[in-house]
Chains A and B, each alone.
Chain A
Amino acid sequence: MRELVPWLTLIFRDKRRLVVGALLILLTLVSGLGLLALSGWFITATAVTGMLLAAGIAAQLNIYTPGGGIRLFAVTRTVGRYLERVYNHDTVLRLLAALRVTLFQALSSVPGFQRQHLKGADWLARLTSDVDVMDTLYLRLVAPTLLALLLTGGLIAVALFVYSPLMAGFVGALLVLAFLLSTAALHLRNGEVARQRVDGQNALRERLIDQLRGQAELTAAGLLAQTHEDLARQASIWSTDQSRLGRNIAWHRALSGICINLAVLVALWVGLELYRGGAISGPVAVLMPLMLLGMAEVLGPLPDAFGVLGSTQAAARRLNAVSNAEGGEDRGRHSDTAGGTQDASLLLSFQDVSVCREGQVVALEGVTAAIRCGEWVGVVGASGSGKSTLLDVAAGLVEATGGVIARGAGLQRVAYLEQQTVIFNDTVRRNLVPDGRQLDDALIWRTLALVRLDERISQIPGQLDGWLGRLGSQLSGGEARRIALARTLLREADLVVLDEPFTGVDAATSAAISCGMRQYLEGRTLLVAAHDASAMPEVDRLLMLQPPRGE
């Protein structure tokens, strides 16, 4: 349960809302119990009174108070249920917002987080669904459990003071048993399988994606049907395990229901004995069993929550791992920066720089280069030769594992355009100036004209405040790349690093942009990488990168 603590702490920050929400649930549950019990009391009382009246005995019964009470409970149950749902859903949505913002802040405070922790395409979807599980932690798990315990205690107390210790003993024992069956016992049974639910799902997904990617080859080799059968079998195993969770939940709920109904039976019997003994009246003897009938609704939500507690724990554990992530593994901390450069005109210099990834995979080997202020340097090499890694090191995204990097005093800020294009589902303005700083619109339009997108953007509804991405204007591959390029150029930086800036952009437009860039980037240093000299602007110097050994 330890993994849930940080999330519960976060959730309990707004105690007032949680308490009010819990009270509303309590109001609804008590009204439900009260409605049935009071009605039973009322009917028994009227039956007894009616029987006496029919026998000619003068008997009195205040019918207005209980009648009013019954009507009141009916109203409070309905109103309480509605208010409870509205209020608690509002609380849940607030929690969701708080959780997501907190998680985002934790992740963004780790430099290079995405590079290190991006394990597969589904990582993001899993993260989101894990967060979604947390925001119902209170509503589905904590609150119902606490209220069930509270009401169980209340009923035992009523049994003790209104009836007899014997009643309290039996009722208490059976209710506690019902509670344990719905909670702890179920978690013990389901925990392991529930914890592994997501892992199993991901293993399945990875295999499936592999097969889909290679469908042509598999079909050609006549292996497709076989591969599909293997997958179906693996899915069936996973599915059976998960079904077991649902079955256990159903059985435990049924067993818990048996305990409650036996408690009703016992309460009735003991109550009738007390009635026979003259300790209590007939109507009162009916109260307890009817209240116990209502306990089924109180314990109702518990099996569903505890049956999947294992996967809730696993979700919390994953989120903890992600939000406590360290920035950079300890690879025998190689100090790669030798302080400043001796030569003032030198902006950045590499001395025999190597980058080694996990598993002895050499990404960059023994690179020596120097970049002077205001210089335009191009890097070409085959795929796998380490161009992107070199740029990552230059931009400070990745640490070198060997060699020395010296950064000149003039190198304050770097603007980096990565190989993969990122467009946010947001306005054009926010895509171009993500940090939201105030920029002259004229400058923005000038930059858009440079990348030949001024006409395109002026056609979007809202222009600079128009929406890009899904549910907005869709950009083609080349257009998106140019937006990313414009974003990089708009950033005030001493060194501009571009990784394959013209992917998806046709030759004519690339040439035109390259021309305009000379004037735009006057005075700034440029480091650009591509697989070919023709895919980059005209540079002063060209570095040829050899693939590291092993290729």
Chain B
Amino acid sequence: MSATTNPRETRRWLSELARGHRRPIALTILAGTLAGVATIVQMGLLAYLVHQAVIVGAGLPSLVVWLIPLVVAVLVRGLAQGLQGHFAANASERIRGDVRRNLMASWRHAGPQSLKQESPAALSSEWIEQVEALHGYYAHFLPQMVLSAVVPMIILVVVGALDWLAAIFLLLSAPLIPLFMALVGMGAEKLNQQHFLTMGRLSGQFLDKIRGLTTLQLFDATERAAADLEKASDRFRVVTMKTLKVAFLSSAVLEFFSSVAIAVVAIYIGFGLLGYIDYGPADQLTLYSGLFVLMLAPEFFQPLRQLAQHYHDRAAALGAAELLRARMACGSSECVASEAAGGEMTREGGAISQAVVVKDASFAYQPGLPVLDRVSLTVEPGQCLALCGPSGGGKSTLLNLLAGFSQPDFGVVSIFGKPAGSTPFGWLGQSPFLLQGSWADNLRLVAPSASDDDMIGALEKVGLGPLVNQRARGIHSAVSETGHGLSGGQARRLALARVLLADYKLVLLDEPTAGLDLASQRILIEGFRQLKLAGKTLVLATHHQSLLEIADKVLTLDNGGSVHA
């Protein structure tokens, strides 16, 4: 996975995700704008009431009628704000659902082989946590970005209509705020980079020590570790505060302009109402326009303040997006036309071959370094072929081609006349699938109509009978109880039981006995013999001597070349 960061690409990726869900986002922005307009109406009516009562001296009963639009404005404002949150949540939920589906699709395209490079914990953390990190961006930051342009503009127009000088005050502050905030942000970022190594080392200390807790206890090192943790946390605090003191200046800038604008507007209007100002539109000021402008001034800055509050959502989303985008790009680049080369069936003499055939297959992970070079083989139904050779010689690669997990660069692979991977087959590798459930659940996964007796029979054939009988509910008891899973050997035997039950025509085996104890190995090998007896076609990649004995043919792969035996 490439580690190059490309912020522009990442931002574009984020926008593209939003493209498919324009409606809820647009509704969010619309609701927010409506709330802004209702706010303006509310402030205007309040100012009007005061002006009428205090300056014009209108009687209160005559003003009662203005209460109705005022209450309506308040209610509309509340409703619009609620709807804004509602649609924002909608948009975020849908987008995250899409990303999760796309991520899984990219896993399917990448195939089991490339995914082996990553730990399941890291991949699942991406799928769960990193996708969650996108929430704040789509629900809060994105709509607020638009609203911080739209609403202040509307307010500016209204203020401009009331007093253009006040509007100019507000207008001047608008570009200055983002400018200063950006300057400060860059400074904070630079400080961050300086301390990157220190911070990285300090921030992981807690997790690190907990992870190694048993070791620390065994070596009587817990007191020392606690003291180290305290010191590290303190240093972390000191270094973090250095950066934060600068970063917080950016919000101070926002507060400064906002507060100063209110003060300046207030004093300007005050002096204008007293008649001290004889230039500009000051002589047209009334209590109504003055109060209205005053109450609109903080609302002018409010969207920007809210945007600043959600700024860290953007940073978190950008970080997550980079990881996700890289992951999905990885997946799709390996998606070499999966319908591809397997299609052309070896129609030799018109008959469709019923064997497993590989013809002149070549594969290279890196151009110029072929792992397989024009390898050909034929496995008749019911035969067993063993692939052996040194690690890295191409056994696993060839097995993957037969499985349809990857496509050959050249050549053709066909399984009983069909492309590789087009019909279900058995796969016995080193990390079998364990369903969180009962033994029965695990077996029925591949054989939905299997009876209890069938399942017990299969389990006994792989030597798991006693283990299952030990459990209270037999095959209906959970496979992994109280956090104790199955041992490596037991899990692979379960997978073998599945293969026996599912009755596949082809079974591929990837070093099935590697890392197992003798007892498990014996049982597995016996199981493979049974498969052969039952007429299944087997291809296994292995070093193991005993396995080679059950093979009818042996193919040795060594740096691309192949030697039949």
Q: In the bound complex, how far is the Cα of B124 from the Cα of A463, in angstroms?
A: 37
Tell me whether A12 is interfacial, beta carbon within 8 Å: no
Which residues on B sit within 8 Å (CB–CB) of A86? 241, 244-245, 248
Q: In the bound complex, how far is the Cα of B466 from the Cα of A310, in angstroms?
A: 45
Whether B212 contacts A424 by the Cβ 8 Å rule is: yes
- List 11 other contacts, CB 8 Å, given A253-B81, A273-B60: A93-B236, A122-B121, A211-B433, A222-B423, A223-B446, A232-B97, A243-B93, A254-B85, A425-B208, A471-B200, A551-B466
Interchain residue pairs A-B with the least CB separation, the first 5: A250-B85, A214-B433, A97-B233, A382-B517, A39-B266
Which residues on A sit within 8 Å (CB–CB) of B423? 222
Binds A, one of B42-50, B367-375, B383-391, B453-461: B42-50
Shortest distance in angstroms between A504's beta carbon and chain B's nearest beta carbon? 12
Which residues on A sit within 8 Å (CB–CB) of B267? 42, 67, 70-71
**B residues whose Cβ falls under 8 Å from a Cβ of A:** 42, 46, 49-51, 53-55, 59-60, 63, 67, 70-71, 74-75, 77-79, 81-82, 84-86, 88-90, 92-93, 96-97, 100-101, 104-105, 107-108, 111-112, 115, 120-121, 123-125, 127-128, 139, 197, 200-201, 204-226, 228-230, 233-234, 236-237, 240-241, 244-245, 248-249, 251-252, 255-256, 259-260, 262-263, 265-267, 269-271, 273-275, 286-287, 290-291, 294-295, 298, 403, 405, 421, 423-429, 431-436, 445-446, 466-467, 470, 481-484, 487-490, 495, 498, 502, 508, 510, 516-520
Minimal Cβ-Cβ distance residue in A for B477: A359
Minimal Cβ-Cβ distance residue in A for B261: A74
Whether B483 contacts A247 by the Cβ 8 Å rule is: no
Whether B259 contacts A383 by the Cβ 8 Å rule is: no
Tell me whether A455 is interfacial, beta carbon within 8 Å: no
Shortest distance in angstroms between B128's beta carbon and chain A's nearest beta carbon? 6
The interface residues of chain B, by DSSP majority, are classed as helix
Shortest distance in angstroms between A13's beta carbon and chain B's nearest beta carbon? 14
Q: In the bound complex, how far is the Cα of B518 from the Cα of A166, in angstroms?
A: 89
Which residues on A sit within 8 Å (CB–CB) of B403? 216, 219-220
A-B pairs with beta carbons under 8 Å apart, 18 shown: A35-B262, A44-B50, A63-B271, A86-B244, A105-B222, A112-B214, A113-B217, A118-B483, A214-B434, A216-B403, A216-B510, A217-B433, A220-B421, A357-B482, A383-B517, A384-B489, A434-B215, A435-B220
Whether A85 contacts B270 by the Cβ 8 Å rule is: no
Q: In the bound complex, how far is the Cα of B508 from the Cα of A228, in angstroms?
A: 23
Given A44-B50, A81-B252, A257-B81; A221-B502 close (CB under 8 Å): yes
Q: In the bound complex, how far is the Cα of B467 from the Cα of A550, in angstroms?
A: 5
Tell me whether A78 is interfacial, beta carbon within 8 Å: yes
Partner of A214, one of B82, B200, B287, B432: B432
Given A63-B274, A104-B210, A215-B107; A70-B263 close (CB under 8 Å): yes
Whether B218 contacts A395 by the Cβ 8 Å rule is: yes
Which residues on B sit within 8 Å (CB–CB) of A416? 218
Whether A49 contacts B274 by the Cβ 8 Å rule is: yes
Whether B210 contacts A107 by the Cβ 8 Å rule is: yes
Shortest distance in angstroms between A481's beta carbon and chain B's nearest beta carbon? 13
Whether A232 contacts B104 by the Cβ 8 Å rule is: yes
Shortest distance in angstroms between B121's beta carbon and chain A's nearest beta carbon? 5
Which residues on A sit within 8 Å (CB–CB) of B252? 78, 81-82
Whether A210 contacts B421 by the Cβ 8 Å rule is: no
> Which residues in chain A, 329-356, are within 8 Å of chain B measured between CB atoms?
none
Tell me whether A368 is interfacial, beta carbon within 8 Å: no
Given A214-B434, A219-B403, A257-B77; A77-B209 close (CB under 8 Å): no
Partner of B294, one of A39, A208, A231: A39
Tell me whether A54 is interfacial, beta carbon within 8 Å: yes
Q: Which of A77, A216, A219 neighbours the largest number of chain B CB atoms within 10 Å of its CB?
A: A216
Q: In the bound complex, how far is the Cα of B46 from the Cα of A204, in angstroms?
A: 52
Whether B255 contacts A81 by the Cβ 8 Å rule is: yes
Whether A94 contacts B274 by the Cβ 8 Å rule is: no
Tell me whether A61 is interfacial, beta carbon within 8 Å: yes
Whether A90 contacts B270 by the Cβ 8 Å rule is: no
Q: In the bound complex, how far is the Cα of B256 from the Cα of A255, in angstroms?
A: 30
Given A43-B291, A100-B206, A384-B487; A434-B216 close (CB under 8 Å): yes
Shortest distance in angstroms between B213's beta carbon and chain A's nearest beta carbon? 5
Minimal Cβ-Cβ distance residue in A for B516: A383
> Which residues in chain A, 191-221, are within 8 Å of chain B measured between CB atoms?
201, 204-221
Given A78-B256, A261-B42; A219-B287 close (CB under 8 Å): no
Whether B224 contacts A261 by the Cβ 8 Å rule is: no
Which residues on B sit within 8 Å (CB–CB) of A211? 433
A-B pairs with CB below 8 Å: how many?
Answer: 421
Whether A275 contacts B481 by the Cβ 8 Å rule is: no
Which residues on B sit within 8 Å (CB–CB) of A469? 208
Give per-residue flags for A91-107: 1 if the beta carbon is below 8 A from chain B beta carbons, else 0: 00110110011001101
Minimal Cβ-Cβ distance residue in A for B46: A268
Given A89-B244, A209-B121, A276-B53; A255-B82 close (CB under 8 Å): yes
Number of interface residues of A (CB under 8 A): 152
Q: In the bound complex, how far is the Cα of B263 from the Cα of A71, in angstroms?
A: 6
Binds B, one of A141-149, A233-241, A534-542: A233-241
Given A93-B237, A275-B54; A53-B120 close (CB under 8 Å): no
Q: In the bound complex, how far is the Cα of B71 from the Cα of A47, in angstroms?
A: 26
Shortest distance in angstroms between A288's beta carbon and chain B's nearest beta carbon? 12
Give per-residue flags for A117-147: 1 if the beta carbon is below 8 A from chain B beta carbons, else 0: 0111110110110010000000000000000
Whether A293 contacts B295 by the Cβ 8 Å rule is: yes
Shortest distance in angstroms between B269's beta carbon and chain A's nearest beta carbon? 5
Q: In the bound complex, how far is the Cα of B308 from the Cα of A81, in angstroms?
A: 14
Which residues on A sit within 8 Å (CB–CB) of B100? 232, 235
Whether B85 contacts A383 by the Cβ 8 Å rule is: no
Whether B482 contacts A209 by the Cβ 8 Å rule is: no
Which residues on A sit within 8 Å (CB–CB) of B74? 258, 261-262, 265
Given A89-B241, A93-B241, A108-B225; A251-B86 close (CB under 8 Å): yes
Partner of A425, one of B204, B236, B487: B204
Whether B124 contacts A425 by the Cβ 8 Å rule is: no
Which residues on A sit within 8 Å (CB–CB) of B229? 100-101, 104
Partner of A46, one of B97, B220, B270: B270
Whether A124 contacts B207 by the Cβ 8 Å rule is: yes
Minimal Cβ-Cβ distance residue in A for B244: A89
Given A39-B263, A231-B104; A265-B70 close (CB under 8 Å): yes
Whether B89 contacts A239 by the Cβ 8 Å rule is: no
Q: In the bound complex, how far is the Cα of B119 from the Cα of A121, in angstroms?
A: 11
Q: In the bound complex, how far is the Cα of B256 from the Cα of A261, in angstroms?
A: 26
Tell me whether A36 is interfacial, beta carbon within 8 Å: yes
Partner of B219, one of A35, A61, A385, A434: A434
Minimal Cβ-Cβ distance residue in A for B218: A416
Partner of B67, one of A49, A250, A269: A269
